Structure 1
Amino acid sequence: MRTFLWVLMVVIVSGDDTTIRGFLEDSVLLPCNCSELDKGFNWQMEEPNPMLVFLFNKTLLNRYKDRTKTFQSENRNNCSVLLTNITAADQGKYRCLFRSQDVYTKFYVYLNISASYTLCQTEESQSGGVKVFRCDVSGRYRESWIQWTLDGQPQINSTTTNITHTNYTDAVTGLYHFNSTLSTKLNWTSEPTCDVKAKNISTLNLGCGGNSTARYGNWPGRSQDPRPQPIVWIRSCIKFIPIVSVLGFSLLLFSQYLRQQRKREVNTNNV
């Protein structure tokens, strides 16, 4: 029974989940507090593609090679990892695993990747009542495109609306430039707006003047908005209900086991 309870504790001990954002080609810290560490620790990407990120005293030969920095030499209780030169492929769920006082503890970190873009939209009128809206976008992530919307509805080529797209790469700066025009003779009561979308990751629209507006791409299994939500603390509490229930049931079984042992001892003494 005691062995069963010890194994149970090893399985269920885990820290709170954390969601952080990193920016393309920048560095991001994956936090992990490992107080009273017994031995080494490791980091692994859990989703979408399981892969070791850091293994104590080992050199990895995958895409994380030479891209991680640890801080244990400065603070023994710090098992955090600094991930450098992050890419879109680094987005996902990570796990920090270490042993403390003979109990294995796991921390999970959800890393959302964003790409920043400058976006400028202009408008001009041409002869014949044609209005032309132009959108110019530049950034460092190639898997991107421009989306036009009107009153929240996506716009596509039609008999009344003509949309064109072009793109090129600046050989000097390495920036990707995306351009699009929307022309129409329709007398809309509101104006169309352009936005930049990216494959699998979120985007940060810096605008012409540098003011940022976050736009979020799709990430299966996660909210489109990686910022902390008010409901997160409720979910954090709910996820511990099964753990507490299992632990309580185990303690109840153990107490019943002790009572039965005492009864056997009493009966033996009476005999």
Structure 2
Amino acid sequence: MSFSTLVFHCTIILLHLTGESQEVGSSQTALIGEDVILPCLLEPAADVVSKSLEWGRLDLEPRFVHVWHEGQNLLVNQNPAYRGRTSLSTEKLKHGDLSLSLSALKHADNGQYRCYFPSQGKTSTVELLVGSVSSPVIAEININSSIVVLQCESKGWYPEPELLWLDAEGKILSAGPTETVRGPDELYTVSSRVTVEKRHSNNITCRVQQSNINQIRETQIKVTGDFFPLKSLLVCPSTVTALVGEDVILPCLLEPAADVVSKSLEWGRLDLEPRFVHVWHEGQNLLVNQNSAYRGRTSLSTEKLKHGDLSLSLSALKHSDNGQYRCYFPSQGKTSTVELLVGSVSSPVIVEININSSIVVLQCESKGWYPKPELLWLDAEGKILSAGPTETVRGPDDLYTVSSRVTVEKRHSNNIICRVQQRNINQTRETQIEVTEAKIHHEREAELREKEQLLAENKIKEEKAKLNEELQKKEEEQKQLEQLVNMLMEQSDELNKLKDQLINQHTDTKKENVEFDTKLQSVDKETESDRVKGYLKLKELLLETKQQLMKRKREHDVLQHNTQTLLRKTDEVLEEMKEKKKEVEKHEVEISEKLEREKEISQEEET
């Protein structure tokens, strides 16, 4: 018998051709502001659109992140922190894909998420780690004829990063201690100073990195013998890297520092029309001719301009922002440029596409990269594995998708890593999977027995529910019949009373009629002697009264007949209702006995 189980993988998905499955898990990492998918698959795949599904965090109140119930979202009790940021795909649910989409990530989203499929009682979890990064800024804080003291600072990191100074060959420089400050927003700011010589070519790199989220940001500055002339100049790093969706600062410093709030400043890209990215003129922004692609995304700091910092803030980066930016200070005719490289990354997904008793063929795929990345397979010791060629596809959005396959042995412990990296933007994403020997047969049999028992229990529950529903209907029907019987019995009693009244009334009428006949005969005898003429009038009155009594008698006879007929019909209906009531009571007893037998069978199976 086949069975289903939830397979939850962070960024790992196992698709077993055999219809069996095992759980594999690791942490899912992403950056603030990014969107992420928390995968949760039902294997073998089945249509679950009409079922219920709950994504939650047990450390929150309410715990509900997203609830799906019988074909629609049920978000009444959704935790307000996730409102408007979660979604499920109906199309994917049709194929057993319960994955949750979570957008615009925040630090508060860090935590363990539970995917719960109640119809099968299946639960699985994933740990989400949301990081935050920013590009470092290098500033010159002291200078003489032969040496330069540089300070590097990078704000808004999470988790806590480390800062390194590197020379042109990538060797770590001896520098002052790193100062780390954690702000009220839980984000870290790191800074450090280094003293270097001014030589013909001395490239210095400040690198800030966080290994838990595989994030690196660095800024490079070229220190030469004529780097700092006696007159003022603009200082910009040669290259700044960042990711799509992030905010970035393009540094531009006036040396020596001076207040330039009342001056003019132009940031531009000469390859665009119009070229203006941001213009500052005599104390205010002048954005009339700003290129529309940058509208609402650029800013300068008045406070920084007071200290000669002409750096441009650019938010919500796009791929089209890639290019060379010019910082132009017209009052001194000074110009400097900085190259912005905007990258795009995503976590790789490992899929098992073939399996036998001793080996596994794995496929790793990662979508949405820019620039073009490389893909590597590594073993548990970090050594590169021999794998098939990497397939690279560039989509219509200029983003790259890379994929590769590797064949590995199933051993007691065999950790395999798929790493995708892009050196130009210092970005690395990787996913790890542990490939072990197949589950022991008796474990699978136990799972099968558990599944069979679950199906049997569900069947019993469904039959019991149907019987209870039928019993409830019969009880309602019996109640209605009892009410109808009571009503008919009351009606029968009333009709019998009416019948008795009619009989009494008829008897009284006959009696009155006899009395009138007697009086009338008496009047006839008296009127024969013709002693009193008034008797004639009395006789006429008596005759009229007799006629009225006879008419009344006939009406009573008709009414009595109708009443007798209605009473007979009521008795017939009443007898019929009593028989039907007995049948309902009998059926109710049969249903109760069946429910009791089902209960006894269930208890015997449990023992």
- Normalised by the length of structure 2, the TM-score is 0.27
Whether 1:247 aligns to 2:247 is no
Distance in 1 of aligned mates of 2:425 and 2:196:
29
Counterparts of 1:48-67 in structure 2, within 5 Å, are 51-56=63-68, 57-59=74-76, 60-67=78-85
Deviation at residue 193 of structure 1 after TM alignment: 5.9
- C-alpha change, 1:145 and 1:251, in structure 2 (3 Å) is closer
More RCO (CA 8 Å, sep 6+): 1
Shift of 1:130: 5.0
1:182: how far off?
2.4
- 1:10-39 per-residue CA deviation (whole Å, 9 max, x = no partner) reads 8xx331523343221222122234523252
Matched, 1:112 2:135: no
CA distance in 2, matches of 1:195, 1:127: 25
Aligned counterpart for 1:87 among listed residues 72, 84, 106: 106
Partner of 2:430: 227
**Which of the numbers 13, 33, 40 marks the counterpart of 1:32?**
40
**Alpha-carbon separation, structure 2, partners of 1:108 and 1:148:** 36
Distance in 2, Cα, partners of 1:153 & 1:245: 55
Q: Report how far residue 94 of structure 1 moved.
A: 2.4
AA aligned to 1:72 is: T
Q: Which runs of 5+ in 2 are unaligned?
A: 12-27, 69-73, 198-202, 220-238, 242-423, 450-607
Contact 2:110–2:128 at 8 Å: present in 1 too?
yes
Q: Is the 8 A contact 2:217 2:426 kept in 1?
A: yes
* Alignment partners' CA distance in 1, 2:448 and 2:84: 46
More helix by share: 2
State the shift of 1:86 in Å. Answer: 0.8
User: How far apart, in 2, do the equivalents of 1:114 and 1:250 lie?
Assistant: 38
Question: CA 1:82–1:206 in structure 2 vs 1: closer, same or farther (change >3 Å)?
Answer: farther
Structure 1 residues 146, 133: CA separation in 2 closer, same or farther (over 3 Å shift)? Answer: farther
Q: Residue 90 of structure 1: CA displacement?
A: 1.9
Q: Structure 1 residue 203 and structure 2 residue 221: aligned? A: no
**1 or 2, which has the higher strand percentage?**
1
CA distance in 1, matches of 2:87, 2:127: 19
Moved more, 121-130 or 30-39: 121-130
> In structure 2, which of residues 27, 50, 56 is the aligned counterpart of residue 44 of structure 1?
56
For residues 170-193 of structure 1, what are the alpha-carbon distances to aligned partners after superposition, in whole Å with 9 as ceiling and x for unaligned? xxxxx99865422389xxxxx986
Matches of 2:58 and 2:114 in 1, distance apart? 7
Check 1:114–1:132 CA distance in 2 against 1; reply closer, same or farther (3 A cut). same
Question: Does the residue aligned with 2:108 lie in a helix, a strand or coil?
Answer: helix
What is the match of residue 9 of structure 2?
17
Give the residue type in structure 2 aligned to 1:181.
R
Deviation per residue, 1:108-138 (Å, 9 max, x gap)? 4443323232235588994496552432435
* SS of match in other structure, 1:116: coil
Cα distance in 2, alignment partners of residues 205 and 81 from structure 1? 29
Contact in 2 for aligned 1:144/1:199 (Cα 8 Å) = no
Which protein is bigger by CA-based radius of gyration? 2
1:65-93 residue CA offsets vs partner (Å, 9 max, x unmatched): 33212222785344322212212232343
Partners in 2 of 1:91 and 1:233 — Cα distance? Answer: 24
For 2:52, give the aligned amino acid: G
CA distance in 1: counterparts of 2:10 and 2:178, whole angstroms: 41
Is 1:21–1:114's contact at 8 Å kept on the other side of the alignment? yes
SS at structure 2 position matched to 1:147: strand
What residue identity is the alignment partner of 2:208?
V
* Contact 1:15/1:105 (8 A) holds in 2: no
With structure 1 as the length reference, what TM-score do the two structures score?
A: 0.53
Question: What's the Cα RMSD here?
Answer: 5.0
Distance 1:47 1:227, change over 3 A: farther
Q: Identity percentage over the alignment?
A: 19
Secondary structure of 2:90's counterpart equals coil
Provide the C-alpha distance between the structure 1 equivalents of 2:82 and 2:128, rounded to a whole number of angstroms.
15
Structure 1 position 147 matched with structure 2 position 163: yes
Match of 1:72 in 2: 90
Change in 2 beyond 3 A, CA 1:44/1:202 = farther
Take 2:448 and 2:179, find their aligned partners in 1: how far apart are those partners? 66
1:98 aligns with 2:146: no
C-alpha distance in structure 2 between counterparts of 1:76 and 1:50, whole Å: 28
Q: Structure 1 162/227 Cα, relative in aligned 2: closer, same or farther at 3 Å?
A: closer
Question: How many residues of Structure 1 are paired with residues of Structure 2 in the alignment?
Answer: 210
CA contact (8 A) 1:114 1:202 kept: no
Residue matched to 1:223: none
Native 8 Å contact 1:15 1:108 kept in 2: no
Unaligned runs of 5+ in 1: 1-8, 156-160, 170-174, 186-190, 216-225, 253-271
User: How far apart in 2 are the matches of 1:198 and 1:50?
Assistant: 32
Shift of 1:49: 10
